[in-house]
């Protein structure tokens, strides 16, 4: 995308934060808002799915991208000033597997997805250090399939066993 910064500066900033969290696990990080800037929001926008359904505001990714820099700056200004309020989530009902019942899903606005992604990126940099290597739930580059594969491997090496709860 022309005019965007490379993710290297964002990655470097997040790596520094992760290194600090790793080196000083007893330290309490009281605020992380200063880590969110336009570059981070731009990278969060890049990582956000663009083909999803629109939220209550009807804003498409293409429409948002038309004024990307000013939209991201506005989002950052509202976030930093404390005036940002997440808009309502659009509720949609989709059929369950058997087709007889409906399951509700919530669809946030694109702008809310971007800010959520930016916050996740910062929080992952801080808290990923605290997880053990055997933790798989809701972690980047890990899946339930990998957890089951790891369980199978460990049980195979142990020569069997009983799984009480997983």
Residue pLDDT, tens place only, 146-159: 999 988 888 888 88
Which is nearest to 74 in space by CA: 23, 111, 31? 111
1 domain residue, yes or no: no
| 3 pLDDT more than 60 | no
**How does residue 83 score in pLDDT terms, banded at 50, 70 and 90?**
very high
Give the per-residue pLDDT at 166. 56
**First-to-last CA distance in the chain?**
43
Distance between CA atoms of residues 142 and 128, nearest Å: 12
85 domain residue, yes or no: yes
Q: Are the beta carbons of 59 and 71 closer than 8 angstroms?
A: no
Both 63 and 141 in one domain: the answer is no
86 domain residue, yes or no: yes
Both 76 and 106 in one domain: the answer is yes
What residue numbers bound the domain in which 142 lies?
132-166
Both 126 and 140 in one domain: the answer is no
Domain tally, the chain: 2
- pTM of the shown model: 0.78
| 4 pLDDT more than 80 | no
What is the tens place of the pLDDT at every residue in 104-114?
999 999 999 99
Least confident of 49-53, 144-148, 156-160: 156-160
Give the per-residue pLDDT at 134. 82
Give the per-residue pLDDT at 54. 96
| 7 pLDDT more than 70 | no
Both 26 and 53 in one domain: the answer is yes
User: Burial letters for 77-103: b for 16+ Cβ neighbours within 10 Å, e otherwise?
Assistant: eebeeeebeeeeebeeeeeeeeeeeee
């Amino acid at each position: 995308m022309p005019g965007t910064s490379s993710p290297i500066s964002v990655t470097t900033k997040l790596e520094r934060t992760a290194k600090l969290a790793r080196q000083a696990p007893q330290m309490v990080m009281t605020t992380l808002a200063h880590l969110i800037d336009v570059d981070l929001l731009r990278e969060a926008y890049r990582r956000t799915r663009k083909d999803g359904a629109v939220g209550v505001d009807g804003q498409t990714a293409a429409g948002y991208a038309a004024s990307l820099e000013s939209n991201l700056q506005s989002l950052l200004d509202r976030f930093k000033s404390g005036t940002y309020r997440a808009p309502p989530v659009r509720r949609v009902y989709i059929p369950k597997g058997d087709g007889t019942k409906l399951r509700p899903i919530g669809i946030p606005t694109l702008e809310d997805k971007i800010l959520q992604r930016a916050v996740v990126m910062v929080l992952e940099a801080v808290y990923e250090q605290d997880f053990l290597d055997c933790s798989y739930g809701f972690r980047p580059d890990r899946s339930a399939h990998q957890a089951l594969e790891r369980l199978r491997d460990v049980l195979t090496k142990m020569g069997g066993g009983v799984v009480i709860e997983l």
